[in-house]
Structure 1
Amino acid sequence: MAMQHALYGPEGFFTSANDGPADHFRTSVHASPLFAGALLRLIEAVDAALDRPRVLQVVDVGAGRGELLTALRAAAGGTELGDRLQLTGAEVAPRPAGLPADIRWRRDVPSGVVGLLLATEWLDNVPLDVAEIDADGRIRRVLVDPADGSESLGGGIDAADRFWLARWWPGAAPGDRAEIGWPRDLAWAEAVSSVRRGCALTVDYGHLRDSRPPLGTLTGFRGGRQVPPVPDGSCDVTAHVALDAVAVSVGQPYRIITQREALKALGVDGARPSLDLARSDPAGYLRALSAAGAAAELTDRDGLGAHWWLLHEVGIDLRGSI
């Protein structure tokens, strides 16, 4: 699979020892520490629902260079909860240089997690195949030349692909494309199965069955710009996630909400501070104004706020917290 090689091969985008992903695209994690602060409030709710265990695990799947775990560590520092947190990054790339020693790093997801399993913009990089409906109505696999990104149509797809498309991406017409998402369903179901008690949260670009994009979403990012998705390891190759298919694959209760809704429930709303604060505390007003700007970016309906949050509760009930 070209996407697998481009992202996770020997010289792949995520496995290369060169630039980190943050040099090429901006996520909520990179946008503002407010995102980590909101997740810490979610972690506090999970901790309370678990009756404050001796060790509370937080596992970040697809941890990049450890930015989110480092931010969570700083946000929880000096608190009773911080003393009980066990932070783990699950990532195919080597352990980043300079990562705090108390943050664990491994290639796979640990089993028996008691706490929170996180995956922020991971599923969009789980490799998948793309199919196109030809002029005769046949569903054919799209083939890509790794050297230049040129495309051609190959043979038909197999039974597993057909089954998934029939259920989750119906109604495609000649010329339409569909991204065959069952590898993401399996990846997320396997990750969530590692949670013994607590919850699992994935945050990502996505779409639902009634609004699949007719031409698909496969694209690339390099140096902060959108580029053609040439699978040569030089750029991020990504496609939006069929969130409802992923959700159903797990077999646990779930909720799907927008990031805008989720962050507002966790105290991030982007509201401008009162002008009264400017008169009584000008420096405080400027800090609050800066935070409001960062919150507005995280909750923008046309930007990061349009991300989807898929939350599974495993043996706990977080109603009232998010």
Structure 2
Amino acid sequence: MGWRQAMAAALYGPDGFFVRGDHGPAGHFRTSVHASPLFAGAVLRLVQRIDDALGRPTHFDIVDVGAGRGELLETLLALMPDDLGARARLVAVELAPRPAYLSAQILWRSELPEAVTGLLVATEWLDNVPLDVADLDDQGRLRKVLVDPGSGDETLGGPVDAADRFWLDRWWPEAGRVEIGWPRDAAWAHAVERVQRGCALAVDYGHRKPARPAGGTMTGYRGGRQVRPVPDGGCDVTAHVAVDSAAGAAGAAYEIVTQRKALKALGVDGGRPSLELARQDPAGYVRRLAAAGAAAELIEPGGLGGHWWLLHTIGIDARGSMLG
């Protein structure tokens, strides 16, 4: 079968990797949400900017798409000031069963809400939206890559279809192994359409047209280790996102920045505390030093800091960049 069909079954089928009611993705790979509450703190500062731009509405929606086990929303709820917490409507969109320990204030659902006023956020969701892969045969013709779900072994199938070719000609024209990203574009555009006023934010591994990765990016994760991507339901199967293509498909004003730049603009800098603080308040110095270490991980250019933030602004006057 093609990679798109195989990924869909392996990740979201009846016993798929993201559907099973176990400890969830956090047991297999580390995202910014899991790395430090500083990430949620930065998202909260973005929420407050959006809230101000909206005029502090009676209800402020925070919708987390691909919410895992609700970790981001739980942390946001704990950090929110009372006024915002009283107005916030937190919604986790996830196919896995609702965790028993989740706060009652967080609504759990399998589909996007019809309308959002506030922030829709998707952290490392688009990289798990299934897509097809294509490669050149010996005659230089671009053909779909087929995969055996049990072994991960690949063969070449038929030629790419017209929709695939249209997307590739615009967004990934280089010859060789390619990952056909239009299903991600469609998924993201569908999510952004639900935002009536506010912002939609995707945070993910990704690339832009001038630097598409030769040979593609598909890989797997299991138990904290990078592994061969076998679509048998036993591991995460992921491929980086063509963020510029997803941005254009959504049809709303947007900005694309690295996570490093975004988090710095939202107050996460990774700077070490002064030695003077160590003399005056040793315990405080240790806390600040630990926070600096966590911040450094989030903004490291070769790691989480190299993720892309794709932010759309819909129906509000942002008066410049929301990440400025």
TM-score, length basis structure 2: 0.97
**Partner SS for 2:18:** coil
Question: How far apart, in 2, do the equivalents of 1:276 and 1:315 lie?
Answer: 47
Matches within 5 A, 1:1-322: 1-76=5-80, 79-172=82-175, 176-318=176-318, 319=320, 321-322=322-323
1:13-54 C-alpha deviation (Å, 9 max, x unpaired) = 001123310000000000000000000000000000000001
Stretch of structure 1 that moved more, 128-137 or 25-34: 128-137
Question: How far apart, in 2, do the equivalents of 1:135 and 1:241 lie?
Answer: 28
In structure 1, runs of 5+ residues without a counterpart are none
Question: How far apart, in 1, do the equivalents of 2:146 and 2:23 lie?
Answer: 28
Report how far residue 112 of structure 1 moved.
Answer: 1.7
Question: How far apart, in 2, do the equivalents of 1:320 and 1:138 lie?
Answer: 44
Question: Over the residues paired in the alignment, what is the CA RMSD in angstroms?
Answer: 0.9
1:81-136 C-alpha deviation (Å, 9 max, x unpaired) = 11111100011111112111110011111122100000000000000000001221
| Identity within the alignment, % | 66
**Partner SS for 1:186:** helix
Q: Which amino acid aligns with 2:283?
A: A
1:247-271 C-alpha deviation (Å, 9 max, x unpaired) = 0001111100000000000000100
Question: How far apart, in 2, do the equivalents of 1:311 and 1:247 lie?
Answer: 8
Q: Does the Cα contact within 8 Å between 1:203 and 1:307 map onto a contact in 2?
A: yes
Question: How far apart, in 1, do the equivalents of 2:259 and 2:97 lie?
Answer: 30
Quick one: structure 1 residues 321 and 165, their matched pair in 2 at CA, closer, same or farther if it must change by over 3 Å? closer
Q: Does the Cα contact within 8 Å between 1:266 and 1:321 map onto a contact in 2?
A: no
Q: In the comparison of the two structures, how many residue pairs are matched?
A: 318
Question: How far apart, in 2, do the equivalents of 1:153 and 1:301 lie?
Answer: 36
Q: Which runs of 4+ in 1 moved over 3 A?
A: none
Q: Which amino acid aligns with 2:256?
A: I
**Partner SS for 2:58:** coil
Report how far residue 321 of structure 1 moved.
Answer: 4.0
Q: Which amino acid aligns with 2:199?
A: C
Report how far residue 221 of structure 1 moved.
Answer: 0.1
Question: How far apart, in 1, do the equivalents of 2:41 and 2:49 lie?
Answer: 13
Q: Which amino acid aligns with 1:115?
A: G
Q: Does the Cα contact within 8 Å between 1:265 and 1:321 map onto a contact in 2?
A: no
